[in-house]
């Protein structure tokens, strides 16, 4: 049976031809997420602009991305993730551009990248970091897209959910690995997934980010004890009465 990830990938393939072609300007200097994560003395928080999602439906459709990003920055967000997929997450590249114009921290283009044209486009709209989801790519595409993004000076968040994906990810020696606590096939979310995988792979050289399902300082502490250096948080911040305060709560000591 087709999963939501399959449906998203089909949609992404349809959108490819509408992307602008041609080289990306070599003038810009992306802001490094990796450097920020390596220098962080507390848990880093990558704060997400997420209007809606396949698992939750509407989360905060009316959000003003500039205002939300400013609140995130005021709370000490180490980076801002912007979901740019339109059909499944109600986002846009314009949201990303607006956030980039508002904050100085690295901005992650959170999308489902299957082709280098999407990476070029991310660059044009001001992304500093792109996401590569191992479950959405074969080994050769993963390697090719990773190399292409690095050649443009971008950082790459390589996302895995289980052991098999972690083994595939490690073959390209990524600097940053995100462990998604959400199973993209069933939508089950369990932060014990990060604990389980870091119990086995925490000794590798990568910086690890725990993604999805993080709500409280207690969750953040569990992720810190497991060995994560950063959290990627969407829904909790998008629905928080005071997102800045919530970020401060999640930035536990390392």
Ligand X SMILES: O=C(O)c1ccccc1NCC(=O)[C@H](O)[C@H](O)COP(=O)(O)O
Query: For ligand X, which stretch binds (CB under 6 A), given 72-80, 140-148, 164-172, 234-242?
Result: 234-242
- Nearest approach in angstroms of CB 40 to ligand X is 19
Asked if 36 contacts 45 with a C-beta cutoff of 8 angstroms, the reply is no
Nearer residue to ligand X within complex by CB, 147 or 218: 218
The reply to whether 170 sits near ligand X by the rule CB under 6 A is no
| Number of C-beta neighbours around residue 110 at 10 A | 29
Residue 236: CB minimum distance to ligand X, A: 6
- Alpha carbon of 9 to those of 15, 65, 81, 122, 215: distances in Å? 10, 25, 20, 17, 29
CB closer to ligand X out of 153 and 224: 224
**Part of the chain binding ligand X (CB under 6 A), chosen from 13-21, 135-143, 182-190, 219-227:** 182-190
By CB under 6 A, is residue 246 in contact with ligand X?
no
Distances (CA, A) of 185 to 7, 49, 52, 209: 11, 22, 17, 20
Among 98, 129, 235, 250, binds ligand X (CB under 6 A): 235
Site string for ligand X, 185-214 (x = CB under 6 A): --x-----------------------xxxx
Q: Does 232 bind ligand X (CB under 6 A)?
A: yes
Residue 191 CA: distances (Å) to CA of 76, 82, 88, 99, 131: 23, 22, 23, 28, 20
Phi-psi region of 178 (alpha: psi -120 to 50; beta: other; left: phi over 0): beta
Minimal distance, residue 12 CB to ligand X, in Å: 12
Rounded to an integer, what distance in angstroms lies between the CA atom of residue 191 and that of residue 195? 7
Residue ranges that bind ligand X, judged by CB under 6 A: 4, 48, 50, 53-56, 180, 182, 184, 187, 211-214, 232-236
- What is the set of active-site residues? 48, 50, 110, 159, 180, 211-212
């Amino acid at each position: 049976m087709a999963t939501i990830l399959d449906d998203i990938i089909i949609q992404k393939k349809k959108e490819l031809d509408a992307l602008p072609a041609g080289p990306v300007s070599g003038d810009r200097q992306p802001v490094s997420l990796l450097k920020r994560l390596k220098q962080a003395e507390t848990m880093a928080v990558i704060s997400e602009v997420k209007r809606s999602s396949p698992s939750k439906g509407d989360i905060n459709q009316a959000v003003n991305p500039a205002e939300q990003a400013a609140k995130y920055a005021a709370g000490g967000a180490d980076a801002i993730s912007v979901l740019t997929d339109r059909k499944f997450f109600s986002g846009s590249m314009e949201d990303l551009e607006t956030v980039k114009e508002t904050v100085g921290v690295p901005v992650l283009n959170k999308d489902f990248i299957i082709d280098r044209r999407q990476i070029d486009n991310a660059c044009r709209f001001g992304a500093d970091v792109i996401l590569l989801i191992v479950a959405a790519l074969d080994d050769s595409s993963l390697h090719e897209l990773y190399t292409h993004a690095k050649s443009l000076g971008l950082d790459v968040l390589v996302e895995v959910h289980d052991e098999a994906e972690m083994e595939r990810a490690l073959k390209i020696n990524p600097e940053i690995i995100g462990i998604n606590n959400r199973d993209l096939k069933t939508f089950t979310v369990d932060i014990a997934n990060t604990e389980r995988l870091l119990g086995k792979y925490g000794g590798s050289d990568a910086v690890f980010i725990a993604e999805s399902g993080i709500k409280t300082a207690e969750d953040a502490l569990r992720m810190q004890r497991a060995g994560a250096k950063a959290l990627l948080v969407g829904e909790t911040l998008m629905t928080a009465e005071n997102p800045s305060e919530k970020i401060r709560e999640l930035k536990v000591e390392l």
